[in-house]
Amino acid sequence: MDTHTTAATDGQPAVLPVDACDFTVFGGTGDLALRKLLPALYLRDRDGQLPDGFRVIGVSRATIDDDGYRSLVAGALREHVLPTDLDQHVVDRLLARLHYVTLDVEDVTAWHRLHDRLKDGAASEDVTRVFYLAVAPGLFGTICERLDQVGLATEHARVVLEKPLGTDLATARAVNEAVGRVFDESSIFRIDHYLGKESVQNLLVTRFANTFLEPLWNSRWVDHVQITVAESIGVGERGSYYDRSGALRDMVQNHLLQLLCLVAMEPPTYVDRETVRDEKLKVLQALRPMTPELVDRDTVAGQYGPGLCAGEPVRSYADEVGHPTSTETFVALRTEVQNWRWAGVPFYLRTGKRLPERVSEIVVVFKEPPHAMFPHSEGTTEANRLHIRVQPDEGMRLHMTAKEPGPGGIRLRPVSLDLSYATAFGARSPDAYERLLMDVVRGNTTLFMRRDEVEAAWTWVAPILDRWSQPSHTPRRYPAGTHGPVAAATLLERDGRSWQETE
């Protein structure tokens, strides 16, 4: 993985600027653009990564001009960037880079406006053009087709696709085919923002830039792996979208399976674009296929009822969306990676809304020591566990057993070695989008999902979707603010294990 940093100057690594670029955001007035993309570009600009000639072009149907767009973005920066990170000089510099084009992408006759704007004042004829599709996926095909028709889908163009990439295998293929008719796979960047998180990238570094873990990273020493992505919020404003999706499509098919891939993949020759993606694909292809019997036995769907969150009463999911529904807001499942390294090691995945806290964590639980060496000691030994905290407080914690200091026999105590990024590096942990947007500009696809990965993930979840779509299937209720349905705990208890709740 190239880091694109130079030697530290004042304690912070200096960043290398990217090349000039015309960065077009379709849906430039939407929530994703204003809450995530523009703040990320601002922070990259503040750190000196955007060169002169880097332009950002917002596109939507709203009839505003450049100044109107600049006011909108200025407001968004005030709202979504920490006051301590806001520097008016940099805000003004970013605003000066902004342009706006009013365009209904479905209106064939209006596309010349975007074409003319991009041609006018471009840094060079062959400037890199990024087209970020922060719009509904139903518009992806149309936008790509029009970009091609107006001559903007050149060899220097890149297209960025946001989730959801389809709602099942067939629709994902349709999106991929529509985009693939215009853009080469090497120019298509399918974002999974989990892959841009520092701790997730550090998982690769921890595994492959150190020697001590790799000999233990297999079925001989690992008892099982747990991956949890928990949210404390409900569906809020996203009710109508979420109710058509559910936790399996929204979280498991992409984020959780991507995390599983990074834990389970074989070491690539280099951490480089295709090699990493090749290895992740092999993991997806090695997942134990779900049969109807396995779906019934090894998966749990849940939906939150009313409950208490942070001491406040909250409504049920059905009340939030306004009607009775069988959409799941919680998934727990057990799977295995059927290859030499992982044969027989369960991977337990869990995600849900209205859980007690917002936390994403991977826990690798090692086997107990093969022989009890301290029969006369006090205290207990616990299996070693490596907790990789993806969010919040990114870092790692290794649980081990130590001798309590003092004479008079051996007393065993569980202790932990903690690595908090914030403490160890004293640096702000950049948002995943900051990293990923710069990778798009550089053309580095390592942290983006390739078409075959997305389709392999949909292929694996398809039998679960099928089974859960039957009328007899209803998600189990859990009170908001709890760890999900009882059946999620039973899934592990039946194997003699339990979920590692955060401490």
Interface residue list for ligand NAP (CB under 6 A): 26-33, 60-62, 103-106, 134-137, 139, 162-164
What is the C-alpha separation between 183 and 154, in angstroms, rounded?
9
Q: Which of 99, 193, 224, 255 is catalytic?
A: 255
Burial letters 29-38, b for 16+ CB under 10 A, else e: bbebbbebbb
Kindly state the smallest distance separating residue 138's Cβ from ligand NAP, in Å. Answer: 9
Least distance to ligand NAP from the beta carbon of 60, Å?
3
Label residue 409 exposed, middle or buried (CB < 10 Å: 0-12, 13-18, 19+).
exposed
DSSP-derived secondary structure letter, 12: S
Min dist CB 160 to ligand NAP, Å, is 10
SS3 sequence of 77-99: HHHHCCHHHCCHHHHHHHHHHEE
Which CB, 29 or 226, lies closer to ligand NAP?
A: 29
Asked if 102 contacts 60 with a C-beta cutoff of 8 angstroms, the reply is yes
Residue 337 Cβ vs ligand NAP, minimum distance, rounded to whole Å: 27
Which residues 6+ apart lie within 8 Å of 489 measured at CB? 483, 498, 499
Minimum Å gap between C-beta 208 and ligand NAP is: 29
Residue number with the shortest CB distance to ligand NAP? 30
Q: Which is nearer to ligand NAP, 28 or 166 (CB)?
A: 28
How many angstroms separate the CA atoms of 168 and 461, rounded? 8
Nearer to ligand NAP among residue 298 and residue 431 (C-beta): 431
Which residues does residue 287 pair with via DSSP β-bridges, in sequence order?
337
Specify the amino acid at residue 151: G
Active site residue 89: no
Based on CB atoms, which residue is closest to ligand NAP, 22 or 192?
192
DSSP per residue, 196-250:
GSHHHHHHHHHHHS-SSSGGGSSTTTEEEEEEEEE--S--GGGHHHHHHH-HIII
Using CA atoms, how far residue 454 sits from 105, 158, 249, 460, in Å, is: 26, 18, 12, 10
Q: Would the CA dihedral through 150, 443, 141, 143 be positive or negative?
A: negative
Kind and range of the H or E run holding 130? strand 128-133
Pairing of strands 359-366, 385-391: antiparallel
Min separation Cβ 31 and ligand NAP, Å? 4
Residues in the chain: 503
Whichever of 194 and 317 has its CB closer to ligand NAP, that residue is: 194
Distances (CA, A) of 224 to 172, 218, 285, 333, 371: 31, 10, 19, 13, 19
CB of 249 to ligand NAP, least distance (A): 11
Q: Which is nearer to ligand NAP, 164 or 475 (CB)?
A: 164
Question: Nearest Cα to 60, choosing from 26, 23, 22, 107?
Answer: 26
Residue (28 or 39) nearer to ligand NAP, CB: 28
DSSP strand E in 250-358: where?
299-305, 307-309, 312-314, 330-336, 346-352
CB of 161 to ligand NAP, least distance (A): 9
Q: State which residue, 253 or 384, has the beta carbon closest to ligand NAP.
A: 253
Q: For residue 394, count other CB atoms closer than 10 A to its CB.
A: 19
Least Cβ distance, residue 64 to ligand NAP (angstroms)? 9
User: Considering beta carbons, is residue 61 or 297 the nearer one to ligand NAP?
Assistant: 61
d(CA 252, CA 259): 10
Q: Do the Cβ atoms of 307 and 271 come closer than 8 Å?
A: no
Residues 255 and 273: their CA atoms lie apart, in Å, by 19
DSSP state, residue 290: P
Residues known to be catalytic = 255
